[in-house]
Structure 1
Amino acid sequence: MARPYLNARRIAALALLALVAAACVALGNWQLDRAAERDAISRAIESGRQSAPLALGPDTPPGQFQDWRQAQAGGTWLHRFTVLLDNRNFNGRPGFWVATPLLLDDTDDTAVLVLRGWVARPVNPGERLPDLAPPAGTQAVSGQLRQRVPRLFELWSFSGRDPNALPRAFPAADGAPPRVQNLDLADYAAATGLKLLPVVLEQTSDEAAGQGAALVRDWPLPPTDSDTNRGYALQWFSFAAIAVIAWIVIAWRALRRRAAKSGAR
């Protein structure tokens, strides 16, 4: 009995190759989208850093709040509202970001949340966090603006505790700054009762010698290497091309077998 020119095995192979090609094309397009996103971030960073420095105040128009724009603010630190952002690593070392509001206007409790810097997590016996109290009195702080506190991917907690829960009252009962993984400005404003600007200031200026803790102010930037994504896209499109070529070869052989059978009749 003659073998059919298009049996179940060939049909399955053609269907599988079509699915592989479609999936590879979709993944390649996704990588191109990621490259476009990184290009947009790179342009936003450049645009923000080229903008004129902004003086922050209670009446600063929200339209002036541009990511990565340099800004300055003057006010007094509200250390009782300090929060530690957990799981922030620096050069492979675990640690915290220290976030403290800077009071801009004490008549209506207007403040801006300042990410003051990174401090190492105590890991060895006997180690403790340094005194994180900022300098007293009116201070001038400069840095770069962010639309929100940079977030980390949140893992499910076995304890069932919300890793972002803030205390009902500040300071906490034990006097230690609360620790959260991610900090939402609206939740923080509700917990503290402050009228926060809808922006975060990543501090880059140093305190005067002998004032405040020695914090690291080397802020990470989001990935902007779009060429890597384009390289991945090229690989996926290459895999798709291989699948299409294999599909064509199988289909061509099936058609040739059919033509041979037709000519033999």
Structure 2
Amino acid sequence: MTAWALLRTRRWLGYLAVAIVFAIVCSGFGVWQFARRAEARAEIDRIVANYDAEPQPIESLLPDLDSFEESQKWAPVEVTGRYLTDEQLLARNRPLGGQPGFEVLVPFLLDSGEIVIIDRGWVPTGREQDSPDVVPAAPEGTVTVVARLQGGESTLPGRTAPQGQISSIQLEEIAADLDRPVYTGAYGLLAEESPAPAERPIAEGRPELDEGPHLSYALQWFVFALMGFVFYVYLLRQEVRQLNADDPEEQRRAAERERKRALKRSDSAEEDEALDRAGT
């Protein structure tokens, strides 16, 4: 039986369908990894463009309280006002270096009357309770703050938090508990504050310019897709050879293949022996 005749059987058509589905799934994962790489590259571009830029007045970047574009992420803004320390919140489940902890969020009242949420940094979970042992206090009085913009987070359904803590930096929910206009499009990661306190929460480090392994993963998925067809063809050839084992022409080809394998084994043995002699 020829390979073409075997391909038309229901069983091998089914195998072909499986190989096609497998290739589609693998290709889908490959495309997804390319999309993840594009997102990582876009984040790197934002960091390069914004992180070391000169601080701008917040109203120049965020003309409305709900203004924010993803292209503004990491852009530094400068604000002057005072911290509302009585309204401080702790964002839960914020690991750093493998250690559980919290982000310290303090509403900052601008001289113009609006509030922007400032993330002053990270503190570890306490030794004996699900809250920090110590939270360094924000400076009192008039303070000038430089912070880098970050978009607000989505609500986490079903997540609850104790009094004074939140599970997500959902700015609309935070604003609902404050009696003044609040910037709900973005909050700020603290970079500098003047006057500087003697101690502050641990600052977030400069983000790494690393796009991750997405490109190599994408290529691997496409190779897997191809390998599915290679395996299909291999199995097909093996069955054709078995079905035609009594055919003289197939017997000749089988003998030739065995001769080549024996020759390769002989060459490999000679190389090993030569290496052994060289080693002694």
Query: Taking structure 2 as the reference length, what is the TM-score of the superposition?
Result: 0.70
Aligned to 2:168: 182
One of 135, 139, 146 as aligned partner of 1:135: 139
**Shift in alpha-carbon separation, 1:99–1:58, aligned structure 2, 3 A:** farther
Q: Tell me: CA distance 1:231–1:43, structure 2 relative to 1, closer, same or farther (3 Å).
A: same
Cα 1:53–1:131 change in 2 (3 A) is: closer
- Contiguous gaps of at least 5 residues in structure 1: 166-171, 173-177
Change in Cα spacing, 1:117 to 1:84, as seen in structure 2 (3 Å) is same
In structure 2, the residue corresponding to 1:137 is in which secondary structure? coil
Give the distance between the partners of 1:50 and 1:132, measured in 2 at CA: 26
Deviation at 1:79, TM superposition (A): 1.0
Q: Secondary structure at the match of 1:196?
A: coil
Higher relative CO (Cα under 8 Å, sequence separation at least 6) belongs to: 1
Q: Within the alignment, does 1:41 sit opposite 2:26 as a pair?
A: no
Match of 1:82 in 2: 88
Distance 1:64 1:18, change over 3 A: closer
Q: Whole-Å Cα distance in 2 between the matches of residues 113 and 94 of structure 1?
A: 22
Deviations 1:66-123 (A, max 9, x none): 21112211101111211100111122221110001110036xx411110011111102
Q: How many aligned residue pairs are there?
A: 234
Gaps of 5+ in 2: 248-280
1:214 to partner: Cα distance: 2.8
Shift of 1:33: 1.1
CA distance in 2, matches of 1:35, 1:251: 37
Equivalent in 213, 236, 252 of residue 221 of structure 2: 236
TM (norm. structure 1) is 0.74
SS at structure 2 position matched to 1:226: coil
RMSD: 3.5
C-alpha distance after superposition, 1:106-162 (max 9, x if no partner)? 6xx41111001111110248x96325432211001112111225x69x5x76xxxx4
| Cα pair 2:68 2:151 within 8 Å, conserved | no
Distance 1:24 1:243 in 2: 10
Q: C-alpha separation between the residues in 1 aligned to 2:21 and 2:60?
A: 57
